[in-house]
Amino acid sequence: MVRDRLTDWLEELKPAERGVTLVLGFVVLGLLIALITGALGASYFLFLFGLAGMYGLLSLGLNSQWGFSGLINFSVAAFFGIGAYGAALMTGGNSPIAGGFNPIFGLLVAIVLAAVVAVAIGIPTLRLRADYLAIATLGLAEVIRLFMRNERQWTNGSAGIRGIPSFFEGWPILGTFPQTMPDVTVTTGISTITLGTSFWRQLLNVSLLLALLGIVFFVLQRAHSSPWGRVLRTIRSDEDLARGLGKNTFSYKMQAFVLGSVIMAVAGVFYAHLNLFVNPGDLDPITTFYVWVAVILGGSGSNRGALLGGFVVVAIREGSRFVNDFAWFPIDAAPLRLLLIGLLIVLVMRFRPQGVLPPQRELIWPRALSESSQEPASAANRGETNE
């Protein structure tokens, strides 16, 4: 029975989805083997997973701007930084402004701050052609980065902010969860793995991340297959057409821009509580570049693609460190990371310009589609679920 259902499910998938599922299966298998044999430390893996998920969040944010609505935002790192600094300044040990607040307040401040900055940059640029937003955000990214580095009285300058608590600090049970959990020793026959405080701490981080990812993904998925998302996709293809049909395109673009920026800030908040330290280097433009690569690689407009792209970028970025462990590999791969990512994007653009996993199905409110029985005959076998 289970097997039947599995084959049914596999048959429903489009070729691209099947391919990705297969590759993901192998990756998960490989990671499992690495974890069991002790080649990859469990808590380090969770840390990497947290980092990958964070890039997934950033990519989802950019996807709702570029993928949904065609807005070119080169300020990903800046909104990420606003989130990270918002959280750090509210909660950090050596924060020159506030410090010591519950991380929830950091999250709120970050969200509000990101939304305000997004609106401020959107008002003058979103009425203009797409390129003006690109130029303005390019500038904004630098302004925010230099602000964080130079306004020492507010941001601690290049020293950064230390002593950031984990997100659940001060919460009942969860606040002391890593300390109270006993060390667990797992013997697998090949190796013995001890799961201690750091493992539980990372596990808590990853749970937080999965919750954030889940919420954001749910929101974006619903938005994407709704009339709201449809207007955005129309704007992306032809803004004048949307205006001619009586849509207030400025308002829609603003909503998408603010939504994406807030998601990026949430990723920044998570980063602050994952890394427990932020400095102006976290706002380097390279982050923006990585996230753009992730979205284009995954398939612009697709939420799943953006998530996948985020994970792939981190896999290359972090995985290249491990390549050096193999003695037979003749070159040092770590410094070639950027080259590898560049090569990957060239290959994807050459052989699959729409990205690895672009939207696969019609984007009509899924329930309305399945409940409309009087579909035209040709439509019967198309578009069952969203994306």
Partner 1 sequence: MSNHDAVLRVEELRKSFGALVATDDATFEVERGTITGLIGPNGAGKSTLFNLISGFYEPDAGTVLVNGTEVTGKEPYEVAEHGLIRTFQTPRKLEGMTVREAMMVGPRKQPGESFVTLFTDPSGVNEAEKQNLAAVDRLLSEFEISELATQPATDISGGQMKLVELARAMLADPEILLLDEPAAGVNPTLRHSLAEQIRRLNDEGMTILLIEHDMEFVMGLADPVIVLDRGSVLMEGPPDAVQTDDRVIEAYLGGGT
Q: Note the residues at the interface with partner 1 (CB under 8 A).
A: 219, 222-223, 226-228, 230-231, 233-234, 236-238, 240-249, 255, 259, 301, 358-359, 362-365, 367-369, 371-372, 374-376, 378-379, 382-383
- Cβ proximity to partner 1: between 190 and 241 the closer is 241
In the complex, the smallest distance separating the C-beta of residue 378 from partner 1, rounded to whole angstroms, is 5
Q: Judge contact between 103 and 169, C-beta under 8 A.
A: yes
| Of 12 and 332, CB closest to partner 1 | 12
* In the complex, least distance from residue 266 CB atom to partner 1, rounded to whole angstroms: 17
Question: What is the C-alpha to C-alpha distance for residues 158 and 146, in angstroms, rounded to an integer?
Answer: 10
- For the CB of residue 294, give the shortest distance to partner 1 in the complex, in Å: 19
In the complex with partner 1, the residue whose CB is nearer, 78 or 220, is: 220
Q: How far apart are CA 90 and CA 165, in angstroms?
A: 11
Q: CB 239 → partner 1: shortest distance, Å?
A: 10
Q: What is the DSSP letter of 166?
A: P
Long-range contacts of 43-48, Cβ-Cβ distance < 8 Å, separation of 24 or more: 43/195, 43/196, 43/198, 43/199, 43/201, 43/202, 46/199, 46/202, 46/203, 46/205, 46/206, 47/202, 47/205, 47/274, 48/314, 48/318
Least distance CB 308 / partner 1 (angstroms): 18
For the bound state, the minimum distance from the C-beta of residue 93 to partner 1, rounded and expressed in Å, comes to 37
Q: How many CB atoms lie within 10 A of CB 262?
A: 23
CB of 227 vs partner 1, minimal distance in Å: 4
Per-residue tokens: 216: 């954001």
Q: Which is nearer to partner 1, 274 or 369 (CB)?
A: 369
Cα–chain center distance at 59: 4
Q: How far is the CB of 136 from partner 1 (least distance, A)?
A: 22
Question: Hey, which bits of 157-226 come out as E strands?
Answer: 184-187, 192-195
Radius of gyration over every alpha carbon of the chain, rounded to an integer in angstroms: 22
Q: Which residues contact 367 (CB under 8 A, 6 or more apart)?
A: none
Q: What tokens does 182 get?
A: 């006993």
Find, among 287, 243, 258, the residue nearest to 78 by Cα. Answer: 287
User: In the block, which residue shows the tokens 């090569």?
Assistant: 343
Name which of 179 and 237 has its Cβ closer to partner 1.
237
Task: Pick the closer one to partner 1 by CB: 245 or 346.
Answer: 245
Secondary structure element (H or E) that encloses residue 18, with its range: helix 15-37
